A and B are shown apart, each in its own frame.
Chain A
Amino acid sequence: MTPPSAGPSEPSAESVDGPTAPEPVAPLLDVRGLRYRYPGASTDALAGLDLSVAAGEFVAVVGANGSGKSTLARLLGGLERPAGASTAVACSHDLLSEDGRMAARRDVGVLFQNPENQLVAECVEDDVAFGLENLAWAPEAIRARVDEMLERFWLTELKTREPHLLSGGQKQRTALAGVLAVPRRALVLDEPTAMLDPAGRDEVLEAVRGLRAGGLAVLYVTQEMDEVVGADRVVALEAGTVVYTGSVGGLFGDGALVRRLGLGLPAAGELALELAAVGREFAPLPLTLDEMLVALGGSS
């Protein structure tokens, strides 16, 4: 494991992620009554889901295994066709039409959970270039863009390394660089840290942190409640529908809902709920160690 040698790239105004649209009125991702059923399945994976994400917004999506998180990621990326009755728009492309989905694949990036299964090429830089090659960019333009991405995700020194020789964190950063090499307006990350060790997780989170600066709409799917803290908004899924949307604190404050959804709280929140059960309540719910210390200090 190699810790990133440089800090995260500065969130800069001239970030190339998507045109700097002057009218950020309509949300970039907007779905209503979204339905989807896998071929041969007996129940809907998504059963009338409503969600919208604006440019520059960072929305976390949580829910138990099988609640529809990954399916949502696939649909928003234009990778599956939503069922007929849905309204589904991604970066102003209609996801119900074939052409709309193809266009959405350009504007909406999707990063998947297993880094091993998304790297195609034989070395890092070829992999980062893959999307641009598909879009038939000129070789010089690909070179420039790839170098920029390698730099941004601290991969320059690894550019000729074969994927199977990379650590988990390095693989996932390569995959992220490959997804963002294509200029995107929205990005869906489907549990990008689930299969990584803490060092790899830190690497990827560090890379993710700089994302929304460029006006990118980010949908961050996760099981790790620590990673939810800091999102603009959190959306909780259950059986393919949204059962909560709002602030992070609001979700964790509703202990019954958290339990029902099979979510875990950050350790501090867990302790706070346990304390509430024995008669010592905190409002708002402390979610980090520091908040917990303040709460304990303040109330004792």
Chain B
Amino acid sequence: MTGPLRGLALACRGVSFSYEEARAAIPALRDVSFKLGAGRSLALLGASGSGKSTLLQVIKGLDAPEAGEVLLDDVPAAAAAGAELRRQVGLVFQTPELQLFATSAREDVAFGPRRLGWQEPDVAAAVDEALALVGLPPEQFGGRHPYALSGGEQRRLALAGVLAMRPRLLLLDEPFVSLDPATRRELAKILLRLRADGVSLVLATHDVDLAWALCDEVLVLDAGRVVAAGPWDLGEAGRELREASRLREPFLVDLWRRLGRDVASAPRTVAEAAEALR
């Protein structure tokens, strides 16, 4: 890789989408609007079925919105000019097993770059780099069969398969589910590194503490509608909304409030918190 990655700016304007079901169309997204600056990170929160996964898939272009539009670097993604930008959006699905199919880790990760039409040496370089980035050194893991890896390793391999395509905006759907705490921390570190590299992130998760540690901004969905958006909303109104959508407040934010400190400057990590409280 040469030089740091630059993130894509993302905006959704009045995006609506419904699923066709047997008897009626079920709205999954209703008039969703928000903006995320280049290199910023967004936590997408909300209960199951609130539309988080759908929103990610609409942003990636797997589903076309019925109304509204997705903008990447201010270019409508559905327009001809947006096609190349859309290729720079990476989407990692929740279940790694859904995404792995090749007979070796290296081949699996190479799938995406080859679809981009890259030359073989470039593909190989991208694969090695992505495997190393997710903590699966290519010399050790490259030849392993994806299904012979542990759950946590599979999750990281699926992430590598997307990172090898060098996304400028990375969308992650529940990346922490059913990982043990140590593996969760590993994954969080990888995401922090990507963020430091300038990649824009959208992280759909139920883990508010990790979301707080990783994301600059927050978007809360409830039944397909945006109920809170922007910087972490720390006011009373925000609390009511969170209760309505059954969200807990991040531990450190809650602690800071209950200690009577300024919540706007609550620490992002326990290390920072300990430093402040020593």
List chain A positions with a Cβ less than 8 A from chain B. 1, 3, 64-66, 113, 167-168, 191, 194-200, 202, 223, 225, 262-264, 267-268, 270-271, 274-275, 277-280, 289, 292-293, 296
Closest 10 CB pairs of A and B: A264-B181, A262-B182, A267-B251, A274-B274, A197-B48, A194-B178, A278-B278, A199-B246, A274-B270, A275-B274
Task: With A197-B48, A271-B270, A277-B274 as known contacts, state yes or no: A292 contacts B181, CB within 8 Å.
Answer: no
Cα distance A296–B277 when bound, in Å?
9
Answer yes or no: B151 CB below 8 A from chain A CBs. yes
Cα distance A275–B252 when bound, in Å?
14
Pick the residue among A199, A223, A263, A274 that contacts B47 (CB under 8 A).
A199
Cα distance A78–B277 when bound, in Å?
50
**For B183, B246, B247, which residue has the most chain A Cβ atoms within 10 angstroms?**
B246
Pick the residue among B180, B182, B247, B252 that contacts A198 (CB under 8 A).
B247
Answer yes or no: B152 CB below 8 A from chain A CBs. yes
Are A198 and B273 touching (Cβ within 8 A)?
no
Are A167 and B48 touching (Cβ within 8 A)?
yes
B13 partner residues in chain A, CB cutoff 8 A: none
Residues of B in contact, count (CB < 8 Å): 33
Are B258 and A1 touching (Cβ within 8 A)?
no
How many Cβ-Cβ contacts under 8 Å join chain A to chain B? 91
Are A279 and B47 touching (Cβ within 8 A)?
no
Answer yes or no: B119 CB below 8 A from chain A CBs. no
B79 partner residues in chain A, CB cutoff 8 A: none
Are B178 and A225 touching (Cβ within 8 A)?
no
Answer yes or no: B206 CB below 8 A from chain A CBs. yes
Identify 20 residue pairs between A and B in the complex whose beta-carbon atoms are under 8 Å apart, listed by A's number.
A1-B47, A3-B246, A65-B150, A195-B177, A195-B178, A198-B247, A199-B48, A223-B180, A223-B181, A262-B183, A263-B182, A264-B180, A264-B184, A267-B209, A270-B270, A274-B273, A275-B274, A279-B278, A289-B255, A293-B259
Pick the residue among B48, B259, B270 that contacts A267 (CB under 8 A).
B270
Are B177 and A202 touching (Cβ within 8 A)?
no
